[in-house]
Structure 1
């Protein structure tokens, strides 16, 4: 596996893998513009599932949970280049270009685009930044990010609200949100952010609703579903641990045994006797 990124908070990221692999991050804090060079990416998010195919571009909105699966497919390797459109850079670009968005964005969180000649050439121009990240500086990075924004606005003017809506998530129903999103492996701070609360307010509201701390509830909820999937759907531990938000198989085994007195594999064998 080869991954190259710039030193400025990963403004540009290059991913290359030779076999199927799950992405590590499950929370998107900033807008992302990604070009699928080869292979494809399966994306599982709050709205459903879709596939980013070869030679397509994804514009993903900030503040959302998403699981990604990198698939080489018929290509020798999976390759993708991503640009992190940080809020601070977008604010700077908006100020320099007198861009004001009075209305919030209410459209899709993920938009798939077919790249034109300009965008294809743009991603090719990122190669030096990816191969020699230490040779670039902050102004060069911002210049390239600004170029990406200009190209997006040129071929897809409707994305203005998408890019320049700087409003944070508003306060929403915490119980309903948690029951629908507990499978995502993310810090508690991100759950608080997406429900429109400070960390302290989130913990307070959560405890009032569930009568348990967020961390303990997430662990228990995931283990209960794991037990159900193993016993009712005959699922193997290796098939479900990532889906349920566990960091690795070892952590899943340890947690499961602590709660049920046996490992997931032992539980599956006992069930099938």
Structure 2
């Protein structure tokens, strides 16, 4: 399978492939602005599934878990380019322009943009660095991030309430969060961070909510979901084990048999 995913400079990333492939679980620590040059990205997150179609601009929020499947089109390879809007640059921009937030940005709002002439010109300006026909001076990377910020605020001034919200992550409902995100194969440290807790605080609060350790609960929760999908939805183990956070099929089979006393074919 031929695929490429690389960092062009520290804030610009480019991904391409001639075949469909599944990406790894990703924790998104910073906002980023992305452009689907060709093909489609199917992104799975706690609110469901989002399909990013060709020629679409998308702003992806920070501090969330995402799993992707990347599909080339019938006539072109898969290509996606993104630029990171890091906190340091956003803080500096807010200070320089005396920007404060008014109200929290709604969590449910979709962040897609029509690729108007400004966005098209912006991403076209990144092509020489993707194709490596030009090398980027150190200061230009910061300027390209600032340009992205300007375009986003031009398209929707209310985005300042998202981009410049630097409040610390607060403790969120651990039970609700885990029931929405249990299928992501990430470390307990990452779950702790996303719920606004230290690792020790997360384990303590987790025990109060579930009366089990995080690892034990995650394994049982994933297996119960697998049982339901196999029995009631006629799903094949090979089609669901990765989606439920298992790293390999043999481990899934042995864990399933140990948990329920039957094989997947006997359900």
TM-score by length of structure 1 reads: 0.86
Query: 1:256 maps to what in 2?
Result: 253
- Secondary structure in 2 matching 1:153: helix
Q: Distance in 1 between matches of 2:201 and 2:94?
A: 32
Structure 1 segments, 4+ long, off by >4 Å, are none
How many residues are matched? 263
Query: 2:56 maps to what in 1?
Result: 56
* 1:39–1:71 contact (8 Å) kept in structure 2: yes
Q: Distance in 2 between matches of 1:145 and 1:96?
A: 15
1:4 to 3, 6, 26: 6
- Secondary structure in 1 matching 2:16: strand
Q: Distance in 2 between matches of 1:61 and 1:5?
A: 19
The range that moved more, 33-42 or 92-101, is: 92-101
Aligned-pair distance for 1:26?
Answer: 3.2
Please give the residue correspondences for 1:175-194 in structure 2 after superposition, counting only pairs within 5 Å: 175-194=175-194
Query: 2:123 maps to what in 1?
Result: 123
Query: 2:165 maps to what in 1?
Result: 165
Indicate whether 1:153 and 2:153 are aligned.
yes
Q: Distance in 1 between matches of 2:22 and 2:168?
A: 28
Please give the residue correspondences for 1:47-86 in structure 2 after superposition, counting only pairs within 5 Å: 47-86=47-86
Q: Distance in 1 between matches of 2:111 and 2:40?
A: 15
Aligned-pair distance for 1:148?
Answer: 0.9
The range that moved more, 36-45 or 69-78, is: 69-78
Please give the residue correspondences for 1:1-273 in structure 2 after superposition, counting only pairs within 5 Å: 1-8=3-10, 11-108=11-108, 110-132=110-132, 135-247=135-247, 250=248, 252-258=249-255, 260-261=257-258, 267-271=263-267
CA root-mean-square deviation? 2.4
Structure 1 unaligned residues grouped into runs of 5+: none
* 2:203–2:214 contact (8 Å) kept in structure 1: yes
Q: Distance in 2 between matches of 1:88 and 1:257?
A: 46
- Secondary structure in 1 matching 2:79: strand
TM-score by length of structure 2 reads: 0.88
Aligned-pair distance for 1:256?
Answer: 3.4
Change (3 A) 1:127 1:73: closer
Aligned-pair distance for 1:25?
Answer: 3.1
Deviations 1:225-269 (A, max 9, x none): 22332334332122101211223xx2x42243145259xxx9344
Change (3 A) 1:186 1:110: farther
Aligned-pair distance for 1:57?
Answer: 0.6
